[in-house]
Chains A and B, each alone.
Chain A
Amino acid sequence: MQLDEFFVTGEPLIYAGMVSIALVSATVIFLLTYFKRWKWLWQDWLTTVDHKKIGIMYILSALAMLFRGGVDALMMRTQLAFPDMNFLNSQHYNEVFTTHGTIMIIFMAMPFLIGLMNIIVPLQIGARDFAFPYLNAVSFWSFFFGAMLFNLSFVIGGAPDAGWTNYAPLAGSELSPGPGINFYLLGLQLAGIGTLATGINLMVTILRMRAPGMTLMKMPIFTWSTLITTFIIIFAFPILTVALALMTIDRIFGSHFFTLTGEGLPMMWANLFWMWGHPEVYIVILPAFGIFSEIIATFAQKQLFGYKTMVGAIVIIAGLSFVVWVHHFFTMGAGAFVNSVFSITTMMIAIPTGVKIFNWLATLYKSKIIFTTPMLWTLAFIPSFTIGGVTGVMLGMAAADYQYHNSYFLVSHFHYVLIPGTVFACFAGLIFWYPKMFGHKLNERIGKWAFWLFLIGFHLCFFPQYFLGLDGMARRIFTVGPEWFTLNFLSTIGAFVMGLGFIIFVHGIIYSFRFSPRDIEGDSWGYGRTLEWATPTPIPKYNFATVPEVDSHDALIDMKEKGETTFDRSKLKPIHMPSYTGQPFIMMAILFFASFALVFEWITLAVIGLIGAIVMMFIRSFDYDEGYHVEVDEIIETERKARRMTDDE
């Protein structure tokens, strides 16, 4: 293979990308060396099995991916700003919308939420870590290396260009030769291992590690939404695993699952993809609902209205999510009966979702709302998401869908549910729990600026797109005609305003890192209701010195009334902790190498990598490291310091 086939050449934007990658990498290496931080990086972060640190790494990676996906979005909006623009050519435009969609769903939304779950769920249930801390590290590194593999594609080998849905036969080896689609298949496959493992890990953690007295119906609602999400992950992700594997085998080993020759069935890809893909939508929205519920209860200073119906609604939504997948391709022509069935199941989802909306409104009703930034994101979510939901019901009507299908009406709809739903929740959750992660709050003034810019930019960007869709503008076209100019131009302005909002948000993080006061309470906002706020800030590595007894889903409210804390000196015992290990990082680095080789169809190298990964599993099997214990003296010292106790206390 020639070097110019290996690297992508001939595109000024991609050369710029290469230069910036080289510069950023060089800067990072220089800074680590200059400040002698390599050992710190390895010992404190790369080998960690602490759920809080892993969660932080998830969120940092997700923010980086939000930046990458956002740049893709701005490039598309620039291309569509004026009729017949020449900013991106058709091929490059195809690559950009493919990577934008894939990155935002798989490498931004999901890891962001999984990062928040990592940090918060064990704290909410009074656990000291995940059920399987080692596996949790494996999950993170599999996501991280999967994301790196996918992102590599735009400078090495060429980016995938068949849309984030990667439909066959377009994505097959005849119509899309070369490594592009292989990057998609193997990047997702590698990251998928981690998602499934996290699903199992969190489910066992929630089922088996709750504080004494915390029955299922006394769990905080975010933990509930996580539990149901793990259920969806466990039954949906294997379908993606199979679909990706079958297409990989089609492309590399010449089978005929989705090909036009050999009596293959291209539409089977669409079925398999959406049998995973629709539950996936709920994997990224249910935890978001959980986050909003926590924030509303906290800043409305009221118990969540209709806790039991909330739980019921989540369960029903999860069940329905598995039986609606055909609504993504009503126009395939499955027939009136099949389309009617899926149309009805689709519209039924609006019922439990509506229940949740009314529960939130009822919680807010006659309450004393504290307008903090996380609360602003949450309040903006309710009406914005409802617009997305209502247009979703419109799309769900099979007969009408023949009109809306594949138009900007659809594009606007799913951005209206995913951005106010998932992205707002990610921002809200990050700001809300930020003090528990970093020991200081984010600056509220800057946060409000970021919020208003992002919110206004969002509506300016996507509201016109409904009308563009009704005017007949198809999705994924790379130039627009003059009749669509005005609305497209407004939309582009909105996109850049959102981008500005994001930059200000990141500025807020840096500003707060330097100037925010550090000396804050465990219950940092002062209105906390659940156990994560019972821990001191910053949280000790073992989370809870003593695990409290729980008898309602607002456990901290009860503890405050009784004057209890998570530091009861009479009950202290040595705490068992797992050891840090570099194995997960090394194992996944080897699998990254194997997947990279398979992308270029270098079979021998891929097999060597696979054997290496199996050797790593053997090493793990023979590893009988029992961890260590934190002794009582050390716990007392840590807690006294974290709780700023004086000597006589």
Chain B
Amino acid sequence: MSENKTDALPLEYSTHQGQMNIVGFWIFLAAEIALFSTLFATYAVLFGRTADSPAPAELFEAGTVLIMTFILLTSSFTCGLAIHNMREGSLKGLMVWLALTLVLGLSFLGFEIYEFVHYVSEGAALGSSAFWSGFFVLTGTHGVHVTLGIGWMIAILIQLKQRGLTAVTTRKVFIVGLYWHFLDVIWIFIFTSVYMIGMVV
């Protein structure tokens, strides 16, 4: 509530409300971890229950998934650079790196949609078997999160353009940054426990 500013802290932490928003978002991420854990557990339980549909090893391709992984990891790096520029006080640097993050996120989504369409054409869709239900809902939930993150970043870019670096806009950038890194961490788990194990077993 209070507006007292402390100069020693970065701009996004400079108001009490800003600090509370950031703490609140960390707690929200804890809830998100619980959500994705449940999805991972569901996927693990349903692993191998493919009924008459193709097995994952027949469809998963190392190439596409590796490209997707590199794109998303790079986007996390560019997102980090955006925050770095923000801390340096460079609005232009922040917006450029954030826009680049957004483009990388979009290309990740493009690959994911291509991948899903490909699987469906090979006879592995949401309704094909318990395993594929688990696969599509787990990776799809991650994909929906990425989509929302992109829309959110666009809104924040517009606000940065309108208002520049203030306690409120920097806090918003910082929080969307936390969200973006979180999605990256989730993807690493998807990459290892879904794709790598799926290709081997």
Could you tell me the distance in whole angstroms from the C-beta of B114 to the nearest C-beta in chain A? Answer: 21
User: In residues 200-246 of chain A, which contact B (Cβ within 8 Å)?
Assistant: 200-201, 203-204, 207-209, 234-239, 241-243, 245-246
Q: Is the CB of A265 within 8 A of B28?
A: no
Q: A238-B38, A576-B1 are in contact. Are A249 and B133 (CB under 8 A)?
A: yes
Q: Is the CB of B23 within 8 A of A256?
A: no
Q: Is the CB of B27 within 8 A of A203?
A: yes
Q: Is the CB of B34 within 8 A of A262?
A: no
Q: Is the CB of B32 within 8 A of A238?
A: yes
Q: Is B2 an interface residue (CB 8 A)?
A: yes
Residue of B with least CB distance to A236: B34
User: In residues 595-649 of chain A, which contact B (Cβ within 8 Å)?
Assistant: 614, 618, 621-622, 624
Q: Chain A interface mostly helix, strand, loop or mixed? A: helix
Q: Is the CB of B20 within 8 A of A576?
A: no
- Which residues of chain B are near A245, meaning CB under 8 Å? 137
Q: Is the CB of A254 within 8 A of B127?
A: yes
Q: Is the CB of A268 within 8 A of B45?
A: yes
User: In residues 27-85 of chain B, which contact A (Cβ within 8 Å)?
Assistant: 27-28, 30-32, 34-35, 38-39, 42, 45-46, 49-51
Could you tell me the distance in whole angstroms from the C-beta of B14 to the nearest C-beta in chain A? Answer: 15
- Which residues of chain B are near A239, meaning CB under 8 Å? 34-35, 38
Residue of A with least CB distance to B126: A255
- Which residues of chain B are near A208, meaning CB under 8 Å? 16, 19-20, 23
- Which residues of chain B are near A423, meaning CB under 8 Å? none
User: In residues 5-22 of chain B, which contact A (Cβ within 8 Å)?
Assistant: 16, 19-21
Q: How far is A268 from B163 in the complex, measured between Cα atoms in Å? A: 50
Q: Is the CB of A614 within 8 A of B32?
A: no
Query: Which of A235, A237, A272, A621 is close to B42, meaning CB atoms less than 8 Å apart?
Result: A272
Q: Is the CB of A129 within 8 A of B30?
A: no
Q: Is the CB of B23 within 8 A of A204?
A: yes
Q: How far is A254 from B126 in the complex, measured between Cα atoms in Å? A: 7
Could you tell me the distance in whole angstroms from the C-beta of B193 to the nearest C-beta in chain A? Answer: 17
Q: How far is A235 from B35 in the complex, measured between Cα atoms in Å? A: 8
Q: How far is A607 from B34 in the complex, measured between Cα atoms in Å? A: 26
- Which residues of chain A are near B159, meaning CB under 8 Å? 621-622
Q: How far is A328 from B28 in the complex, measured between Cα atoms in Å? A: 29
Residue of B with least CB distance to A258: B130
Q: How far is A204 from B130 in the complex, measured between Cα atoms in Å? A: 39
Q: How far is A269 from B187 in the complex, measured between Cα atoms in Å? A: 25
Q: A241-B35, A254-B127 are in contact. Are A207 and B133 (CB under 8 A)?
A: no
Query: Which of A132, A254, A265, A268 is close to B20, meaning CB atoms less than 8 Å apart?
Result: A132
Q: Is the CB of A255 within 8 A of B133?
A: yes
Q: Is the CB of B31 within 8 A of A235?
A: yes
Q: How far is A199 from B31 in the complex, measured between Cα atoms in Å? A: 10
Residue of B with least CB distance to A235: B34
Contact with B along A126-159 (1 / 0, CB 8 A): 0011011000000000000000000000000000
- Which residues of chain B are near A199, meaning CB under 8 Å? 31
Q: Is A424 an interface residue (CB 8 A)?
A: no
Q: Is A539 an interface residue (CB 8 A)?
A: no
Q: Is B155 an interface residue (CB 8 A)?
A: yes
Q: Is A337 an interface residue (CB 8 A)?
A: no
Q: Is A561 an interface residue (CB 8 A)?
A: no
- Which residues of chain A are near B51, meaning CB under 8 Å? 256, 261-263
Q: Is the CB of A131 within 8 A of B130?
A: no
Residue of A with least CB distance to B32: A238
Q: A235-B31, A239-B38, A246-B42 are in contact. Are A257 and B127 (CB under 8 A)?
A: no
Q: Is the CB of A207 within 8 A of B23?
A: yes
- Which residues of chain A are near B126, meaning CB under 8 Å? 249, 253-255
Query: Which of B16, B127, B155 is close to A255, meaning CB atoms less than 8 Å apart?
Result: B127
Query: Which of B3, B27, B137, B158 is close to A249, meaning CB atoms less than 8 Å apart?
Result: B137
Q: Is B131 an interface residue (CB 8 A)?
A: yes
Q: A132-B24, A249-B126 are in contact. Are A242 and B31 (CB under 8 A)?
A: no
Q: Is the CB of A576 within 8 A of B2?
A: yes
Q: Taking each of B2, B38, B163, which has the highest tally of chain A beta carbons within 10 Å of its own beta carbon?
A: B38
Q: Is A286 an interface residue (CB 8 A)?
A: no
Contact with A along B142-157 (1 / 0, CB 8 A): 0000000001100110
Could you tell me the distance in whole angstroms from the C-beta of B129 to the nearest C-beta in chain A? Answer: 5
Q: Is A196 an interface residue (CB 8 A)?
A: yes
- Which residues of chain B are near A207, meaning CB under 8 Å? 23
Q: Is the CB of B50 within 8 A of A263?
A: yes
Contact with B along A240-283 (1 / 0, CB 8 A): 01110110011001111101011111001000100100000000
Q: Is the CB of A621 within 8 A of B155?
A: yes
Q: Is the CB of A262 within 8 A of B133?
A: yes
- Which residues of chain A are near B172, meaning CB under 8 Å? 621
Residue of A with least CB distance to B172: A621
Residue of A with least CB distance to B22: A204
Q: A200-B24, A208-B20 are in contact. Are A257 and B134 (CB under 8 A)?
A: yes
Query: Which of A209, A261, A265, A624 is close to B46, meaning CB atoms less than 8 Å apart?
Result: A265
Query: Which of B20, B130, B151 is close to A264, meaning CB atoms less than 8 Å apart?
Result: B130
Query: Which of B27, B42, B136 is close to A268, meaning CB atoms less than 8 Å apart?
Result: B42
Q: A253-B126, A262-B127, A262-B128 are in contact. Are A242 and B2 (CB under 8 A)?
A: no
Could you tell me the distance in whole angstroms from the C-beta of B29 to the nearest C-beta in chain A? Answer: 10
Could you tell me the distance in whole angstroms from the C-beta of A272 to the nearest C-beta in chain B? Answer: 7
Q: How far is A614 from B150 in the complex, measured between Cα atoms in Å? A: 13
Q: Is B168 an interface residue (CB 8 A)?
A: yes
9 cross-chain pairs, A with B, having the tightest CB-CB distances, nearest first: A255-B133, A263-B49, A238-B35, A254-B127, A238-B34, A242-B38, A256-B130, A264-B130, A204-B24
A-B residue pairs in contact (CB < 8 Å), sample of 26: A208-B20, A235-B30, A236-B34, A237-B31, A238-B34, A238-B38, A242-B35, A242-B38, A242-B39, A242-B42, A254-B126, A255-B127, A256-B127, A256-B129, A257-B42, A262-B49, A262-B128, A263-B49, A265-B46, A265-B130, A268-B42, A272-B38, A275-B38, A576-B1, A576-B3, A618-B155
Q: A200-B28, A239-B38, A264-B133 are known; give 10 further A-B pairs, CB within 8 A.
A: A203-B27, A209-B1, A255-B126, A259-B130, A263-B50, A263-B129, A263-B131, A265-B45, A265-B49, A576-B3
